[in-house]
Every structure is written in C-alpha cells, then in structure tokens.
Structure 1
Amino acid sequence: MFLMGFKENLKAELAFQDMQVKELSDTTGISRHTIGNYLSVRERIPTADVAVKIAKALGVSVEYLVTGEESQLEKPLLAAEIRALVQNFKLLSENDRKMIIAITQLYKNQGRKS
C-alpha cells in the first residue's frame, strides 16, 4: 500500500473540501506563503503545533495528514456514527433526504464564511 506524504494529503483534503489556500490561511492564521511551501516542497513538513492548526481547520487528524490513514482508535467511534447517520438517512423520505442534503451544504458553506 502506497502512503502519500503530508503535501499530497493536504492537497487532496483541500481539493476534497473545495477549500482554497486563502481560506485555510484565514482560518489558521498561517500565511499563504507558508501553506504554499507545504504544498509545493516535498520535504517541507510543518511543526507539530502548525500541523495541529491545519488539521483542526480541515476537521481531520494530524495522523491523517501525515500518513493518509486515520488512527485505529478513532475509527470505531467514527464508523459507528457514520453507520447510524446512514441508517437514519435511509429511513427518511426522498423529500426529507433532499432537505437534509441542502441543509448540510448550507452549513458547510456558512462555515467557510465565518
């Protein structure tokens, strides 16, 4: 199994969340230039405190950004929560599902503006 490094995982997470470097910079207080260095230079890895800020802003663990894998300790709780959400979602009507999707998208977009 190929594990991506910090640079690749950060790029992938930014793309997944449709987040720009400016947004991450504004959220973390880390300069765009510094974040740009993490994205362009393979050997450049942030200090632990900076990695924590980035991980918190993205809603992922530092371990995920470094290794591309979640901690085994976090997986059972997260998996159980996701399963419960999916099960509850399946019980909703099609109209209610669309409403939930719209609401979560709204919250996601509002979070970026804050």
Structure 2
Amino acid sequence: MSFGKTISAERKKKGFSQEELAKMVGTISVTIGRYERDEIKPSIDIATKIADALGVSLDYLTGKTNIELDNSIIKRVVEIQSLPDEDKKHILYALDGLLQNVRTKLAFGK
C-alpha cells in the first residue's frame, strides 16, 4: 500500500476527518488530501507528526513494515533499553518465559 493510502486507511480507522488530522499536525485539510492521493510527500517532521497522531510508527506509514506497531509497546521497549544491563537481562528473561507460555497455550488450544 502506498504512503498516501496508508495515511487514508489509518485516518479512517481512527475516525478522523482530513480536517481533524490536519489540525493535529499543523497543516490544512487540502494538504492532507494531497498526501492521501500521493500527489505530494510530507516533510519528515510532518510525516512524524502524522504517525504520532494516528498512533502508528513511521516505518508502518512508509511501508517499511506491514506490522502496525503499538506505540505503547514501543515506549516500553525504549524504557527497557535505557535500563542497566543486569535489569534488562532479567526483564527479557521473564518476558521470554511469558511468551513461551502463550505459544504453548496456543499450540495446545488451551
């Protein structure tokens, strides 16, 4: 999906009008329409504001990934990265155990 089509789909999914999105990012609705029709590309600053307003990553908007990353999870990952190595090691060990538990439950239909 193109950059513009992704913006349009995410905007509609969130229930925003072009005008509402434009106000959130500091532009006008005509410009949002031109982005959505792939007539023009926003600056990196505006693209970042659009991603933030829509609650998705910039990678998702640009098509670099097709996985819609949850910003609340990204914030937690960033927080974990800033911890001392020993704390990171413990958190990731616990997380690996929890993920394995979920995969096991899914595999056995429980």
The answer to whether TM tops 0.5 is: yes
**1:60 is paired with a residue of what secondary structure?**
coil
Q: CA offset at residue 46 of structure 1?
A: 1.2
In the alignment, what sits opposite 1:34? 31
CA distance in structure 1 between the aligned counterparts of 2:39 and 2:23, rounded to whole angstroms: 24
CA distance in structure 2 between the aligned counterparts of 1:55 and 1:24, rounded to whole angstroms: 10
In the alignment, what sits opposite 2:40? 44
CA distance in structure 2 between the aligned counterparts of 1:48 and 1:12, rounded to whole angstroms: 20
Aligned Cα root-mean-square deviation (Å): 3.1
Q: Quickly say closer, same or farther: Cα 1:37–1:43, change in 2 above 3 A.
A: closer
- Structure 1: which 4+ aligned runs deviate by more than 3 Å? none
Size of the alignment, in residue pairs? 75
Q: CA offset at residue 43 of structure 1?
A: 4.7
In the alignment, what sits opposite 2:3? 6
Structure 1 gap ranges (5+): 81-114
Q: Map of 1:1-114 to 2, 5 A cutoff?
A: 4-40=1-37, 42-67=38-63, 69-70=66-67, 77=73
Q: What's the TM-score, normalizing by structure 2?
A: 0.56
The AA in structure 1 aligned to 2:12 is: A
Percent pairwise identity: 35
